[in-house]
Amino acid sequence: MVLLRAVGAFEFDGGSPESCLKFGLRFKAMLEIRKLRKQVATDINLIVNPKEETAVNPQMKPPNDEQSNLLRQILLSGFPDRIARRIYENEIPAGEAKKYKNGYW
């Protein structure tokens, strides 16, 4: 979410090298992200409805808490193998309780 807000702030501020200095971002990386956003928007337009065109709006408002939570859920649903889960005491291998105490898989 931090990166999403940083990209949004960069675009909202005009996307200049000065805004990168202000936010502590690399200008070349932000230009690459802008190209990727346009490419994703184009691909979505081709898949969803070619007659209606969805554009990348640089003046978008930042997501509110509910939208941030939904975006987080969408992103994490695509990576179920990358989410750590707590190791409970009954799952700890014998003799390794000290090693896995308060651990995550």
- Using one digit for the tens of pLDDT, what is the confidence trace for 61-84? 888 889 989 988 888 888 877 777
| Cα Dmax for the chain | 63
Give residue-wise pLDDT tens across range 18-65. 988 988 899 999 999 999 988 988 888 888 877 777 777 778 888 888
Helix (H) or strand (E) holding 43: helix 27-48
Do the Cβ atoms of 58 and 12 come closer than 8 Å?
yes
- Do the beta carbons of residue 84 and residue 70 sit within 8 Å? no
pTM exceeding 0.75: no
